[in-house]
C-alpha cells in the first residue's frame, strides 16, 4: 500500500511539473502597428482601433481592441488571434488619419510579433454648393476624376480629402457653363466651392 501511495505521489508531481517544462509551447501572437507620416516620421498620440471583420470596421461596431501610439508611433496589441485585422487610425487634434491609405493587415503570423507600418495623412474638407438660379445641374470633377452630379439648390458637405491643392471643374449638364477652381485643403480646414 505504501508503494502505491508513493507511486501516486510521484505521478501527481509529474502531471503538475511536466507541462511547465514543455519546450514546444506556442508563443503569443502580437501586432505592432507603426504609424508614420508621408516622410516616415513616427506619429505619437494617435488612436488605433482594431476590428475583426470589414463589416464591423465599415459600421464602427464591435471594437476588438484599441491603443494609442507611443513616442515611436507604435500601437501594440498582445496575445491576439492570427487573422486579418481592420483598423482605423485617428489623431483628431490635427485631422491625421488613414482615410486615404491602407485599413487592414495581412493575415498575421502565429506565435510572433507582427510589425506593420501604416502611413497616415492630414485631411481637410471640401463643401460644394450649387447656387444655380436657372435650376441647372452640374457635374463635379476633382483632379480630373468625375466625382458627382449636383442638382441646383443642393449642397455636398464636408468631403474628406488629404491636404493639398486641388483642381475642381464644374460643368453645367446640358449647357455650356464650365468653371475651374484651385482650392487648397488644409488640415482640419473646410474649403467651400460655390457655383455657378
pLDDT score at 189: 95
* pLDDT band at 91; cut points 50, 70, 90: very high
Q: What is the mean pLDDT of residues 31-60?
A: 96
Domains, the chain, with CATH or none: 30-119 (2.60.40.1120), 123-195 (2.60.40.10)
Strands 30-36 and 113-119, by their bridges, are parallel
Provide the CA 100 distance to its chain's centre, in angstroms: 8
pLDDT at 188 over 80: yes
Q: What is the mean pLDDT of residues 102-119?
A: 96
Provide the CA 118 distance to its chain's centre, in angstroms: 9
pLDDT at 59 over 90: yes
pLDDT score at 12: 56
CA angle 151, 157, 162 (to 5 degrees): 120
Q: What is the mean pLDDT of residues 148-153?
A: 96
Dihedral angle sign, alpha carbons of residues 11, 12, 13, 19: positive
In DSSP terms, which residues pair with 162 in a beta bridge?
123
Q: What is the mean pLDDT of residues 166-181?
A: 96
Q: What is the mean pLDDT of residues 83-100?
A: 94
Cα–Cα distance measured from residue 131 to residue 151, given in angstroms and rounded to the nearest whole number: 9
pLDDT at 102 over 60: yes
pLDDT at 68 over 90: yes
Q: Give pTM, 2 decimals.
A: 0.74
CA angle 47, 165, 48 (to 5 degrees): 10
By percentage, how much of the chain surpasses pLDDT 90?
A: 85
pLDDT at 82 over 70: yes
Which one has a higher pLDDT value, 25 or 28? 28
pLDDT score at 26: 81
pLDDT at 89 over 90: yes
What confidence tens digit (pLDDT) does each residue in 127-136 have? Answer: 999 999 999 9
pLDDT score at 24: 44
Q: What is the mean pLDDT of residues 16-23?
A: 50
pLDDT score at 92: 86
Amino acid at each position: 500500500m505504501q508503494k502505491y501511495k508513493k507511486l501516486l505521489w510521484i505521478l501527481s508531481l509529474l502531471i503538475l511539473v511536466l507541462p511547465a517544462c514543455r519546450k514546444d509551447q506556442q508563443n503569443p501572437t502580437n501586432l505592432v502597428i507603426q504609424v508614420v507620416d508621408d516622410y516616415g516620421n513616427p506619429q505619437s498620440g494617435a488612436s488605433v482601433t482594431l476590428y475583426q471583420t470589414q463589416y464591423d470596421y465599415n459600421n464602427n461596431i464591435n471594437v476588438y481592441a484599441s491603443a494609442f501610439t507611443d513616442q515611436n508611433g507604435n500601437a501594440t496589441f498582445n496575445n491576439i488571434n492570427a487573422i486579418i485585422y481592420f483598423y482605423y487610425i485617428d489623431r483628431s487634434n490635427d485631422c491625421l488619419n488613414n482615410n486615404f491609405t491602407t485599413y487592414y493587415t495581412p493575415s498575421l503570423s502565429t506565435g510572433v510579433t507582427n510589425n506593420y507600418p501604416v502611413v497616415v495623412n492630414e485631411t481637410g474638407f471640401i463643401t460644394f454648393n450649387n447656387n444655380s438660379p436657372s435650376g441647372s445641374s452640374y457635374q463635379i470633377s476633382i483632379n480630373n476624376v468625375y466625382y458627382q452630379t449636383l442638382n441646383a439648390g443642393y449642397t455636398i458637405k464636408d468631403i474628406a480629402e488629404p491636404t493639398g491643392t486641388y483642381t475642381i471643374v464644374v460643368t453645367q449638364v446640358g449647357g455650356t457653363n464650365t468653371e475651374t477652381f484651385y482650392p487648397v485643403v488644409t488640415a482640419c480646414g473646410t474649403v467651400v466651392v460655390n457655383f455657378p
